[in-house]
Structure 1
């Protein structure tokens, strides 16, 4: 329909364009009609593609803007998730450090208790060893003194007196 209207207008204005090439004094009307015809043809052929181009360009820009906004939203979500994870990691780290400190204190106490019990055991063993050595030395001295007494002529005991002394000692 639009094309048909354009063709009719062109045919009607064709004689006007023919007169546009007349003399220079009265050609303002013809030139104006030629310009209007040229502008109309230009609008007819260029307007729709130009409108479509700008519409498509606007849609393209709009879709790119939406993509960028979507990416921005995703980035904000990712940032919030990362911040939440960082917060949880810090809380976990604090918990782990506190637990490690408590465990270190407990281990230190256990080691101290174990060391003290080892020291007590060593002291007891030392005292037992001293007591054992003291008895051994006493027995050696007694044995040596008795040996000297039995071998010397200063003390002569007979077997009956010696048996009585041993019986008294045992009882």
Structure 2
């Protein structure tokens, strides 16, 4: 408070000195300058704290805004890192899935080949068995036909050896 009183006394001292001089000049620039200085001093005296508070509040508001922006920037950096980590995990999972699918396709192909091979072997075996069966069936029919032909003829009397050789020739 003492500083303010001292300051005001210094500001008003030129006005008191000019008022005491009694001379009037044609120039009012000095009075206007003194009035301006007095006006500025009064404004400073009464409004300095308010102006300082306004600028301090604005400075604090800017600092808080900057802090919020920095916080958001940090959050976005963390979110970006998290997204990149998730992307890497997804890429790794995709590679694992592709590898697993490739391995499964190889295994399935091998199983299909083995199954097909076994089925082909079974078909060949069945075909061979069927051919053998049909040959035996044909041989039986031929033997039955020859036997019935020879047995139905009463005039021909053959021995068993001759009959067996005839059958073998006919069958061959």
What TM-score comes out, normalization by structure 2 length? 0.74
Report Cα offsets for 1:94-146 as digits up to 9, x if no partner: 12211211111111111101100000001000000111111111111111111
Aligned counterparts, 1:39-50, within 5 A: 39-50=40-51
Instruction: Give the match for residue 166 of structure 2.
Output: none
Between 1 and 2, higher relative CO (CA 8 Å, sep ≥ 6) is seen in: 2
Distance 2:27 2:126 in 1: 141
Distance 1:143 1:26 in 2: 162
Cα distance, 1:28 vs structure 2: 5.1
Distance 2:88 2:130 in 1: 62
Cα distance, 1:92 vs structure 2: 1.8
1:61 to 1:154, Cα distance in 2 relative to 1, 3 A: farther
Distance 2:64 2:100 in 1: 53
> For structure 2, which runs of at least 5 residues remain unmatched after alignment?
164-172
Cα distance, 1:156 vs structure 2: 4.7
Report Cα offsets for 1:40-97 as digits up to 9, x if no partner: 1111233222211111111111111111111111111111111112112212211221
What number of residue pairs does the alignment pair up?
153
What TM-score comes out, normalization by structure 1 length? 0.75
| Superposition RMSD in Å | 3.1
Instruction: Give the match for residue 90 of structure 2.
Output: 89
Instruction: Give the match for residue 71 of structure 2.
Output: 70
